[in-house]
A and B are shown apart, each in its own frame.
Chain A
Amino acid sequence: MRLRLIKKFFFPRLSLTIVLLILTLIIAFLAGKEFLVQRQSEPIFPSSGLSYHKKLSDYFPALRNTWGDTDVYIFEGKEPGGCILITGGTHPNEPAGFLTAVILIENIFVDKGKVVIIPRANASAFTHSDPQEGSPQRFFISTAKGKRFFRLGSRLTNPIHQWPDPAIYINPSGQKLSGSEVRNLNRCYPGRPDGLLTEKIAFAIMEVIRQEKIDLGIDVHESAPEYPVINALVFHENSSELAALVAINMESFGLKLRLEASPPNLRGLSHREWGDAAGILAVLIETPNASHGRLKGKPSPDLIVEGIDKFYPRASRSGRLFVDYPETGIPLKDRVGRHLASIISLVESFNELYPSKKIKINNIPDPNEVALKGLGFFLHSPS
């Protein structure tokens, strides 16, 4: 009786079902073609200051020929000094994190010390986009000679590369999280060498920290304007003095930095485990990104690059946000500029606190100039 009931309700006619089935196949084909586009990686053109171009699998061979393997760019100065790790693309739906890393790779020269940059920390997460977010797959930045494309990915590892999620994820630090966090790189530290793909990526990054003898790790992110941790620097307690100095140094750029101590009971995050497991100074920086917020209007490549949104200014006026969101938007160049200012201040402050490990990086684009000339000015032309 029950089945008849359901049939009456939901299956009007067999012929309709067949038509729908054929339609579904056509849609799957059309969509599939589009999904594959997202696997094409955007080129990055390192500055001539690059010393080595390595792969993450060079540090942890188990990642070789997996979707978790990714580029590692190393800039080494002639003189010895401290060593910094900068990771972008931990969350590929936070474009300023990725772009900051790219801008650094394409511009800097290191005189003293060493800078290790991983622009696409979770390479798998770049290959798909978040369901129900309606995100564009790419955004574009004009350079002197033509447009460059960059991918907007997802917060999580592609489920095609790691599936299924457990009901409850217990991460390598023993914290219980919701199942899907098993694919969130920034919950999987310090990783597991024999774990799932994302845990292996986390482990490989820990290996980079150990093998390259990193002193300071900077994880570059963005957050939705409705989240409290924004325009902020989250620091491991071993870096509290560094963080305070950075906040003061940031004032010279006319920027206010919110300081947030990394909560000791929030485990698996870079600013916690890099400090705990590897003993390095660890910070994470955040800028406001409308394109991955829930209040955003129509998503588009423009929303990512220009940051002009229809609804965020309204939410800002009614006091629902943790940042002032103007009608004129918060463009990507300002967000990347802020990250660059943070990184410059971090290096300055690090040098002040640890004079024996001085690091000297040349040619980091000046945040004010980035705001003036745009990101394209500091990017290599395509091809």
Chain B
Amino acid sequence: MEIKKTITSSLMFFLFYLFAASSPDLPKFSQPALITSAGQNAEVQMVAVLAKRAGIDHILNKMATGQDLEGYKSLLLVLGASLKGLGAAGIDINKELERVKSLIEFSRQKDIPILCLHLGGEERRGAQSDQFIKACLPAAKMVIVVKSGNKDGLFTRMCQDLGIPLVEVEKISDALEPLKNSFSK
């Protein structure tokens, strides 16, 4: 009898835990949102498309700095360095880091929550991209990552250490749902 009770309760607890783990209480973001990249990658454009599909009031500003955040209620940072993108923007990686840090600093002062997205997968990793990931994650309130970009578990580790919810998605289009949910009222 006792054993049965233990099993049942632990099973219940386990089920509850499973449920809780599969749909964690995700933080909420408000509109309007400013979308920019950390590293001038091409995925920032895709996030803008996803935001449009999700019906989020947003603006895409590839070169936004702290001041540009004025009036926005959340910041979407799309992580990953693209040398081509940096070249096209005419800046080097240090300038870009400075820009991103000014954004983070401003959002900290004004209490604007940051949602980080990494959609480029495995190819959008490596030393330069990781520089941006490491600079941005500590300021994030939530992270969405395409699975293949987290093969080495960097996002899992960092998010666990920092206590930030991490949402893994299979492919870019799957990021639509969590994005929609985090902006829904």
Give A residues with C-beta under 8 Å from B: 240-241, 243-245, 247-248, 251-252, 256, 258-261, 263-264
Contact = CB atoms under 8 A, between A and B. Distances in A.
Given A248-B173, A259-B45, A263-B84, 17 more contacts: A241-B49, A243-B45, A244-B42, A244-B46, A244-B48, A244-B49, A247-B46, A248-B46, A248-B50, A251-B171, A251-B172, A252-B173, A258-B123, A259-B46, A260-B42, A261-B84, A264-B88
A90 to B, nearest CB: 22
Secondary structure of the A contact surface, majority rule: helix
Contacts of B153: none
B87 interface: yes
Contacts of B138: none
9 contacts: A241-B45, A244-B42, A245-B49, A248-B49, A248-B50, A248-B173, A251-B172, A259-B46, A261-B88
Contact of A263 (B46, B87, B121): B87
> Interface residue tally of chain B, by bracket?
10 to 19
A241 B84 CA distance: 18
Interface centre among B46, B49, B85, B173 (most CB of A within 10 A): B49
Interface string B32-43: 000000000011
Interface of B: 42-43, 45-46, 48-50, 84-85, 87-88, 121, 123, 171-173
B121 to A, nearest CB: 7
Contacts, number: 39
Contact of B85 (A247, A258, A261): A261
A260 B121 contact: no
Nearest to A240: B45
B117 to A, nearest CB: 13
B86 to A, nearest CB: 11
A263 B88 contact: yes
Which 8 pairs of residues, A with B, have the shortest CB-CB distance? A244-B45, A259-B42, A244-B46, A244-B49, A251-B171, A248-B173, A240-B45, A251-B173
A286 B50 CA distance: 25
Nearest to B176: A248
Contacts of A251: 171-173
Nearest to A249: B173
A251 B171 CA distance: 7
Nearest to A252: B173
A260 B171 CA distance: 19
Contacts of B46: 244, 247-248, 259
A247 B172 contact: yes
A248 B172 contact: yes
